[in-house]
Amino acid sequence: MTKISPYGAASLREAAMLIRAGEPVAVPTETVYGLAADATDDRAVAAIFAAKGRPSFNPLIVHVADLAMAQSLAALNPVALLLADRFWPGPLTMILPVRRDSGLSPQIMAGLPTVALRLPAHPAMRALIRESGRPLAAPSANRSGSISPTRAEHVLASLDGRIRMILDEGPTSEGLESTIVAPEDTQIRVLRPGPITTAMLEQAAGLPVIVGAPVGRVEAPGQLESHYAPSKPVRLDALTAAKDEYLIGFGLMPCHANLSPDADLREAAAQLFAALHQADASAAARIAIAPIPSEGLGAAINDRLRRAAA
Ligand code: TXA
Ligand code: MG
């Protein structure tokens, strides 16, 4: 029922036709596979929520082909323009005041006065936006709350029968969802840590970078405590496996799967969700994960691990 098609000219045309017909299609980005649909079409956007079983209070990220498309949807202040210049195309999402004349389906914003915009680097996603001629709403292509997909097989395992087509272009390079920031006039707030690290943001903007929402406000509603969750209990900071555990290692250590024997954080980020999918599918009753250093990209990895264990 759900078809996996290798990415190419013919499959791209077919995917763009489905998008124009108001259907969601799974497509790779450099972070994770997304479930993309026309962000200006109410029924197409509703179909994303339905396929994922996503709560309607959780707003979606809109993917654009270029800066002009971004500016037709939202207002970019000087800090946003600077970040766009430095990090787009790439794994950075910005929360921006939505324009009155954006034409976006209101479900995208879920009642917020802002919209999340990202200009992705992956050729397949960029080609699909251009070919369909629409801004594309795309959450991660998995059932709501479960592990994000970094390969076409992960999408199939989660959404088989719920969508018509998956464009397959192999494993994604970053492996973690985009960094989400709110660019303010004098500071940058990070709402979801990701591949663009705090240090990279600080260096690019020369502004203070604050991690997390102000107390009492949920700024990225999807940052629910339990998320990216395997179906089995997860134990963090594990150095050895109990008898019933599947141990995911980091650095040289005895384990069932290793995120990076060389203790390289980029490699670990790229491998993380595949390792969790594999551990979930294994015969072991529980999952254990080695400690990961928290500096740099480690902050984003540990954010996902905490939610997987919550
Ligand atoms: O890397 C990514 O960002 C991937 C790929 C497919 O682009 N997409 C992704 O989407 O991770 P999703 O829906 O799984 O996560 C989007 C997050 C959610 O936590 C949502 O609550 C938050 O962005 N979000 C969306 N619009 C927002 C807004 N206006 N204000 C605050 N948070 C927002
Ligand atoms: Mg997600």
pLDDT of 107 higher than 70: yes
Residue 150 CA to ligand 2 centre (angstroms): 11
Q: Residue 221 pLDDT more than 80?
A: no
What is the structure's pLDDT at 228?
Answer: 75
d(CA 128, CA 12): 7
Span 234-309 CATH architecture: 3-Layer(aba) Sandwich (3.40)
d(CA 144, CA 74): 26
Please tell me the number of the ligand nearest to residue 221's CA: 1
CA of 139 to the centre of ligand 2 (A): 6
CB 275 within 8 A of CB 257: yes
Q: Which residues contact 77 (CB under 8 A, 6 or more apart)?
A: 183, 184, 185
Question: Domains of the chain: which residue ranges?
Answer: 3-176, 234-309
- How many whole angstroms separate alpha carbon 113 and alpha carbon 297? 30
Provide the Cα torsion 145, 164, 45, 62; round to 10°.
80
Supply the mean pLDDT for the chain.
95
- What's the CA-to-centroid distance between 115 and ligand 1, angstroms? 10
Per-residue pLDDT band for 222 (boundaries 50, 70, 90) equals: low
The rounded distance, in Å, linking the Cα atoms of 63 and 76 is: 15
pLDDT of residue 192: 94
Ligand 1 pocket, residue 277 CB under 6 Å:
no
Reported confidence tier of residue 229, pLDDT bands at 50, 70, 90? confident
Check pocket membership of 29 for ligand 1, CB cut-off 6 A.
yes
Fill in the DSSP letter of residue 77. Answer: -
The domain covering 3-176 belongs, at the CATH homologous superfamily level, to DHBP synthase (3.90.870.10)
> Cα of 288 to ligand 1 centre, how many Å?
27
The protein residue whose alpha carbon is closest to atom 19 in ligand 1 is 222
Closest CA to 235 of 294, 277, 306, 287: 287
Domains 3-176 and 234-309 share a fold: no
Q: What is the CA radius of gyration of the chain?
A: 19
Q: Is 24 in the pocket of ligand 1 (CB under 6 A)?
A: no
3 bridge partner residues: 165
Residue 32 Cβ < 6 Å to ligand 1: yes
Query: Is 219 a residue whose pLDDT tops 80?
Result: no
What lies within 8 Å, CB to CB, of 240 at 6+ separation is 247, 254
User: What pLDDT shows up at residue 220?
Assistant: 62
In the predicted model, is pLDDT for residue 100 greater than 60?
A: yes
What are the tens digits of pLDDT across the range 147-167? 999 999 999 999 999 999 999
Judged by DSSP in three states, 202 sits in helix
Ligand nearest to the CA of 34: 1
Ligand 1 center from residue 223 Cα (angstroms) = 9
The confidence score (pLDDT) of residue 94 equals: 98
pLDDT of 213 strictly over 80: no
- Other beta carbons less than 10 A from residue 42's beta carbon: 14
Distance in angstroms (rounded) separating the CA atoms of residues 285 and 279: 9
Element (H, E) at 297: none
| Ligand 1 and 89: CB distance under 6 A | no
- Per the CB < 8 A criterion, the answer to whether 93 and 116 are in contact is yes
In this predicted structure, the answer to whether residue 103 has a pLDDT above a threshold of 90 is: yes
Q: Which residue minimizes the CA distance to atom 18 of ligand 1?
A: 222
Please state the pTM of the whole predicted model. 0.95
Q: Distance, CA 32 to ligand 1 centroid (Å)?
A: 12
| Under 8 Å between Cβ of 32 and 140 | yes
Tell me the C-alpha distance between 219 and 222, whole Å.
Answer: 9
Query: Could you identify the residue written with the tokens 């993917």?
Result: 63
- The 10s digit of each residue's pLDDT in 230-277 is 899 999 999 999 999 999 999 999 999 999 999 999 999 999 999 999
- Ligand 1 contacts CB of residue 269 (under 6 A): no
Sheet containing strand 3-6, strands side by side: 3-6, 165-168, 25-27, 34-38, 136-137, 61-63, 114-118, 92-97, 179-183, 188-192, 209-211
Question: In which band, very low, low, confident or very high, does the pLDDT at 48 lie, cut at 50, 70 and 90?
Answer: very high
Q: What is the pLDDT of residue 1?
A: 87
Question: Which of these ranges, 84-98, 123-137, 177-191, 212-226, has the smallest mean pLDDT?
Answer: 212-226
